[in-house]
Amino acid sequence: MSAENTSETSNQILKQVEYYFSDSNLLRDKFLKEELAKNVDGYVSIEIIASFNRMKAISTDLEFITESLKKSTRLQVSEDGKMVKRLDPLPESIDTGKTLYSKGWPSDTTIEKVQEFFNQFGKTLSVRLRKKTDKSFKGSLLVDFDTEETVTKIIAEKPKLNGDIELIYQTFKQFNDEKKEEKEKFLANSDKKRKAKKEAERDGENDDEEKSEEKAEETMVPGCIVVFKGIGAGKNIHRGDIKEIFSQYGDVQFVGYNHDDVDGNVRFKTAESAQRAVEALTTAKKEIGGQVPTFSIMEGEEEKTEWEKILEKKKNAGNNNNKKGNNNRGGKKPFKKFAGKGKGFKGNKKAKVE
């Protein structure tokens, strides 16, 4: 037995391969399902399983991997020791009642850290870190457990990460319903805009003034602006860096910060997100640019003045778009007269009448 072939390594192998064959992963894993379908008994080559990157990071000893899989109560190794399959039949769909949605995780979160955190509540079958289009971590994730009771318990207890970072917890149904509602609102709004545009075109006008007024009808949302003071000066910090830190706690609408300033503010979509950010960052003593700034919710006259600036800016932006649209109403460019001669151009001198 090599130095790497320990009982701990064997357990890691078992855990990883059981995850590959779990309901939550196998139903989504197109490649593995195709491999499974090639065999009438549902076996997959252990050599193929061992070629996966996560498996190679654990062990490259094929014989040791095979022996480790023989200990599983969920998997079965073939008599020749070359293939493995799951014992239970694969369900037609995923039981989403066993799936937990969580948000507010730091940017350095890994699958292993998530599993370690939730293992105190029950067996984790899979962890999916949600990513942005640029592949960076969104700060939210989905965890599949072996029982619904585990999900219910976590939501009820609302455990803090590292004892001080507050996280958001929802059932998959709650999360999915919210996403559907957001999508429906977006589609309804888009449809409304398309209809309004068609009506305006039919009437021969753009209703630019009306649209501008609609944009300006936004109101103040109290308690959603976080003020930070005393970050590290001269540390080449940009708005994107600030946004990345705060977006873990909710939807960031705007970052009020100029390069190399020590103070600034962040506007969230909701007051709940702002409060969560202040509490979590203050408790964690989060450093920005090597310094621990103070975090607070903007209040009183300062907040009122800030919102007046925000709404005025949006109103002006709408008016500017109005002016641009009115310059060429009707879609035709104004005719421009040219004087002089050029190729294919007849002079503008009056013709002599004979």
Bridge partners of residue 295, in order along the sequence: 228
Return the percentage of the chain with pLDDT > 90, whole number.
37
**Range in 172-181, 285-294, 300-309 with the lowest mean pLDDT:** 172-181
The reported pLDDT for the residue numbered 251 is: 87
Angle between helices 62-69 and 7-20 (to 10 degrees): 70
pTM (2 decimals)? 0.47
Domains of the chain, first to last: 7-86 (1.10.10.10), 96-176 (3.30.70.330), 225-306 (3.30.70.330)
Average pLDDT of every residue of the chain: 82
Confidence label for 257 from pLDDT (cuts 50, 70 and 90) = very high
Confidence label for 344 from pLDDT (cuts 50, 70 and 90) = very low
- d(CA 97, CA 149) in angstroms, rounded, equals 9
Confidence label for 11 from pLDDT (cuts 50, 70 and 90) = very high
The reported pLDDT for the residue numbered 210 is: 44
The reported pLDDT for the residue numbered 209 is: 43
The reported pLDDT for the residue numbered 150 is: 94
Confidence label for 315 from pLDDT (cuts 50, 70 and 90) = confident
The tens digit of pLDDT for each residue in 159-215 reads 999 888 889 999 988 888 877 777 777 777 777 777 766 766 655 544 444 444 444
According to the 3-state scheme, what is the secondary structure of 295-326? Answer: EEECCHHHHHHHHHHHHHHHHHHHHHHHHHHH
The phi, psi pair for 129, rounded to 5°, reads: -80, 125
The answer, yes or no, to whether residue 33 has pLDDT greater than 70, is: yes
